[in-house]
Amino acid sequence: MLCENHTVNEGMGDDGPRVAGPGEQTSRRALRLAAQADSAGPTVAAESPATTTEAPTPRPRRRASFLGVLGELLITAGVVALLYVAWQMWIGDMIIGSQKHSEASALSQSWLQQPSETPTASGSPSASPSAAPTAPADAVVPVMAAQDYGQKFGVMFIPRFGPNWQFTIAAGTGRHDILDAGEIGHYPDTAMPGDVGNTVYAAHRWTSGAPFDPIDKLVIGDAIVIQTPDGWYTYRFRTLEYVQDTQVEVLLPVPQQVGMAANGRYLTLTSCAPKLNMLERIIAYAVFDSFTPTSAGPPASLTQGVTA
Partner 1 sequence: MYAALWRILPGPAWVRVLILLVLLAAVLYGLFWYVFPWVGQFINPQEATVGG
The Cα–Cα gap between 197 and 191 comes to 6
Q: How many residues bind partner 1 (CB under 8 A)?
A: 45
285 binds partner 1 (CB under 8 A): no
The Cα–Cα gap between 193 and 42 comes to 81
77 binds partner 1 (CB under 8 A): no
Contacts with partner 1 in 104-133 (CB under 8 A)? Answer: none
Q: How many residues comprise the chain?
A: 308
Q: How far is the CB of 268 from partner 1 (least distance, A)?
A: 10
Between 185 and 204, how does the x/- string for binding to partner 1 read (CB under 8 A)? x-x--------------xxx
Which one of 43-51, 127-135, 227-235, 278-286 is the stretch in contact with partner 1 (CB under 8 A)?
A: 278-286
User: Among 167, 212, 266, 288, which residue sits at the site for partner 1 (rule: CB under 8 A)?
Assistant: 212
User: Among 166, 173, 227, 295, which residue sits at the site for partner 1 (rule: CB under 8 A)?
Assistant: 173
* Residues in a beta bridge with 265: 197
Cβ proximity to partner 1, 38 vs 72, nearer residue: 72
Report whether 265 contacts 194 (CB < 8 A): yes
Q: Is 90 left (phi over 0), alpha (psi -120 to 50) or beta?
A: alpha
Between 222 and 241, how does the x/- string for binding to partner 1 read (CB under 8 A)? --------------------
Q: Is 118 left (phi over 0), alpha (psi -120 to 50) or beta?
A: beta
Q: How far is the CB of 97 from partner 1 (least distance, A)?
A: 13
Indicate the Cα dihedral angle 144, 147, 152, 156, nearest 10°.
50
Q: Are strands 265-273 and 197-202 parallel, antiparallel or unpaired?
A: parallel
At residue 124, φ and ψ (nearest 5 deg) are -85, 135
Q: Contact residues for partner 1 (CB under 8 A)?
A: 61, 64, 68-69, 72-73, 80, 83-84, 87-88, 91-92, 95-96, 173, 175-176, 179-180, 185, 187, 202-208, 212, 243, 245-248, 250-251, 270-272, 276-278, 281, 283
